[in-house]
Amino acid sequence: MDKARIGFVGVGLMGHGMAKCLVEKGFPLSVLGHRNRGPVVDLIARGASEAGSAADLAASSDIVFLCVTGAPQVEAILRGPSGLLAGAKPGLHIVDCSTSEPTLTQALAAELAPMGIAFCDAPLGGTPVQAETGALTAMVGADDAAFAVIEPAVAAFASRIVRVGAPGAGHTMKLINNFLSLGYGALYAEALAIAAKAGVTPQVFDTVIRGGRMDCGFYQTFMGYALDGNENSHRFAISNAHKDMRYVTSLATNIGAAAFVSATVKNLYAAAEGLGYGAKNVPLLADAVAAMNGLPPVPGAKAAAE
């Protein structure tokens, strides 16, 4: 059986690895141009082609994956001039792997279904390194028929696929997932600041936490900066974290949920972005909270710079 023809929009930090897995596993792949030409050139060298527009990409694909920043970008790539909908035909499956708003996903799925176009969500858990090796987790929202079509392609870059419900359910679960991780980041940053004010170094802090019940993979990547000054220990920008937390609090508002902690976490990332840390990665939240407390950057970062 021939493999589905894949279109891919957003071959950036995560998307490049996902697209690489698809083309290396035999899926005919076409990508949309990206402001960073490096990943596009690399994928073309691996056998992919480049589409002239989103409309062309849709017209030549069975499945189109989106891996963009958020809801505004998803709408723009669908509805913009020469967008996906301008070239989409019945039978097309669009899979949004971005961290987006569930309400938009549900609305798009309802709007496109009468056109014979399936809109699904498959946001991701994992890192760019896991994207490169095909070891991501995908949280899929799709109906039975659409899931059967997209699952083999999703499996090219995700070693763990969890179907969580209908369209929109994937983005809901992703927001909850990101709330947990970004909430941990907020806790670590504040705990490090309190420790520093009390004279406890990150190294002593880590000696107690690492290997205990409070240790986890996210803790280890976060502390890669606090201990060693590695600004890329967890590659996810504070501005994106703030965006995701806005989506979390919006979701809570839309469903009438009491949401005390998520609002506080959102405001911390908002404050960090306001202080100029938006382009920096999440572990540097520790520096933002240190600055709010009148403290210098964490000692590990200072040592690395010297």
Query: Domain boundary at 134, 165, 196, which?
Result: 165
The answer to whether residue 99 scores a pLDDT higher than 80 is yes
Claim to verify: residue 95 and residue 116 sit in the same structural domain: yes
Claim to verify: residue 208 and residue 258 sit in the same structural domain: yes
Assess if residue 1 is contained within a domain.
no
Q: Is the CB of residue 268 less than 8 Å from the CB of residue 241?
A: no
Assess if residue 214 is contained within a domain.
yes
CATH number assigned to the domain comprising residue 81: 3.40.50.720
Domain count, the chain: 2
Claim to verify: residue 59 and residue 118 sit in the same structural domain: yes
* Pairing of β 63-66 and β 6-9: parallel
Q: Record the tokens describing residue 285, joined without a space.
A: 């939240």
pLDDT tier for residue 206 given thresholds of 50, 70 and 90: very high
Claim to verify: residue 137 and residue 233 sit in the same structural domain: no
The answer to whether residue 227 scores a pLDDT higher than 80 is yes
Claim to verify: residue 77 and residue 187 sit in the same structural domain: no
Query: Domain boundary at 118, 147, 165, which?
Result: 165
User: In whole angstroms, what is the distance from residue 34 CA to residue 119 CA?
Assistant: 23
pLDDT at 136: 97
pLDDT at 221: 95
Percent of the chain with pLDDT over 90: 93
Is the C-alpha dihedral spanning 92, 175, 156, 80 positive or negative?
positive
| Stretch 270-274: mean pLDDT | 98
**28-37, Cβ contacts within 8 angstroms, sequence gap of 24 or more:** 28/3, 30/5, 30/6, 30/57, 30/60, 30/61, 31/7, 31/57, 32/7, 32/8, 32/57, 34/10, 36/12
pLDDT at 306: 53
Query: Domain boundary at 113, 133, 165, which?
Result: 165
- Residues designated as active site: 174
Claim to verify: residue 86 and residue 158 sit in the same structural domain: yes
Claim to verify: residue 123 and residue 181 sit in the same structural domain: no
How far lies 73's CA from each of 60, 101, 165, in Å?
Answer: 21, 11, 24
| Stretch 277-295: mean pLDDT | 97
| Stretch 51-56: mean pLDDT | 96
Q: Record the tokens describing residue 292, joined without a space.
A: 């709010």
pLDDT at 1: 61
The one-letter amino acid at 260: F
Q: How many CB atoms lie within 10 A of CB 115?
A: 13
Claim to verify: residue 80 and residue 37 sit in the same structural domain: yes
pLDDT tier for residue 33 given thresholds of 50, 70 and 90: confident
pLDDT tier for residue 133 given thresholds of 50, 70 and 90: very high
pLDDT at 34: 72
CATH number assigned to the domain comprising residue 235: 1.10.1040.10
Q: Which domain holds residue 241?
A: 172-305
pLDDT at 303: 55
pLDDT at 69: 92
pLDDT at 2: 86
Phi, psi of 70 (to 5 degrees): -175, -165
The answer to whether residue 119 scores a pLDDT higher than 80 is yes
Claim to verify: residue 36 and residue 138 sit in the same structural domain: yes
